[in-house]
């Protein structure tokens, strides 16, 4: 959709793009992938550098700034995505910028450090000339995993253990959406019941695209006053139906 509109689209990661066939997925959708090998080849990262499963987020944020400066100085609209991973299960990666040990659990210190890095990056973005015409999306890919010996979420939560899982969801924040969405009622935009299906049409509208329908495929734009599949049928039904075996889909392998 974006390539048809002349967008330059880049997906940036500190690991190898072949993991979980990400390269096949993104490149088949007209998105250029910059991974650890691309950055080593182009002089962003030393050829012998390796930590965690690639390079850490503190370096990725600085690279993102450099690439965004180039994209922001061009004429073409751009969609720049990058994936941070320092907060990954089980204990996170404590980088050189994580100088404070505020908490007893390493993961909490890594999360605190990640918050500071993200905050600093957002402040930088807001100083750029292209910011006023750019939508920023902060999105989690899934909830933090837990294990019997590493369930600090339950340990620190003020909720009863049986309510902790139900209260959790992945992070989703949209900053500076398109001007024609400024008047969408807050009740439509917030506290909705939705799934990852609904993210794509929501982001597209936030970027200024006008959808001909209320959504795309199974997703519904959260800027529209129409129910998502979860709101219409309930979470259990949606999960049950999407996990069913589909013979037609399996034939596509």
- pLDDT tens digits, 178-204: 988 878 888 888 889 999 999 999 999
Q: Among 78-92, 122-136, 145-159, 164-178, whose mean pLDDT is lowest?
A: 145-159
pLDDT score for 148: 67
pLDDT score for 131: 96
- Sheet with 32-34, strands from edge to edge, namely 32-34, 8-13, 78-83
pLDDT score for 48: 96
Q: Is 75 exposed, middle or buried (0-12, 13-18, 19+ CB in 10 A)?
A: exposed
User: Which comes out higher in pLDDT, residue 163 or 133?
Assistant: 133
- Of residues 34, 39, 61, 42, the one with CA closest to residue 50: 39
Res. 246: pLDDT tops 80: yes
Q: In the predicted model, what is the mean pLDDT of residues 86-103?
A: 87
Q: In the predicted model, what is the mean pLDDT of residues 53-73?
A: 97
Q: What are phi and psi of 182, to 5 degrees?
A: -60, -30
DSSP state string for 228-245: -HHHHH-HHHHHHHHTS-
Could you give the angle at the alpha carbon of 122 between the alpha carbons of 68 and 165, nearest 5°?
115
Distance CA 65, CA 67 (A): 6
Where would I find the H helices in 16-75?
22-27, 36-41, 57-72
- Using the CB atoms, write b or e for 76-108: b if 16+ within 10 Å: ebbbbebebbbbeeeebbbbebbeeeeeeebbe
pTM for the model stands at 0.90
**Which tokens sit at 77?**
């609209």
- pLDDT tens digits, 67-84: 999 999 999 999 999 999
Give me the domains of the chain, ranges plus CATH numbers: 3-181 (3.40.720.10), 182-253 (no CATH)
Query: In sequence order, what are the residues at sequence separation of 6 or more whose Cβ sits closer than 8 angstroms to the Cβ of residue 186?
Result: none
- pLDDT tens digits, 138-170: 999 888 887 766 677 877 888 887 888 778 888
């Amino acid at each position: 959709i974006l390539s048809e509109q002349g967008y330059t689209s880049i997906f940036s990661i500190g690991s190898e793009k072949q993991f979980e066939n990400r390269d096949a997925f993104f490149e088949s959708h007209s998105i250029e992938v910059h991974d650890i090998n691309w950055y080593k080849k182009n002089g962003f990262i030393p050829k012998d550098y390796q930590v965690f499963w690639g390079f850490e987020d503190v370096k990725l944020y600085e690279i993102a700034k450099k690439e965004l400066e180039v994209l922001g100085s061009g004429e073409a609209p751009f969609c720049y995505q990058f994936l941070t991973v320092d907060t990954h299960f089980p204990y996170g990666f404590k980088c050189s910028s994580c100088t404070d040990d505020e908490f007893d659990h390493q993961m909490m210190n890594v999360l605190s450090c990640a918050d500071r890095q993200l905050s600093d990056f957002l402040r930088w973005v807001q100083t750029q000339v292209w910011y006023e015409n750019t939508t920023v999306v902060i999105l989690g890919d899934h909830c933090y995993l837990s294990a019997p010996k590493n369930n600090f979420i339950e340990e620190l939560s003020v909720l009863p253990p049986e309510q902790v899982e139900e209260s959790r969801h992945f992070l989703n924040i949209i900053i500076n959406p398109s001007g024609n969405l400024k008047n969408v009622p807050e009740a439509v935009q917030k506290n909705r019941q939705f799934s990852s299906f609904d993210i794509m049409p929501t982001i597209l509208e936030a970027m200024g695209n006008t959808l001909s329908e209320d959504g795309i495929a199974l997703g519904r734009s959260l800027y529209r006053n129409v129910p998502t599949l979860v709101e219409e049928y309930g979470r259990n039904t949606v999960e049950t139906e999407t996990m069913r075996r589909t013979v037609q889909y399996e034939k596509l392998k």
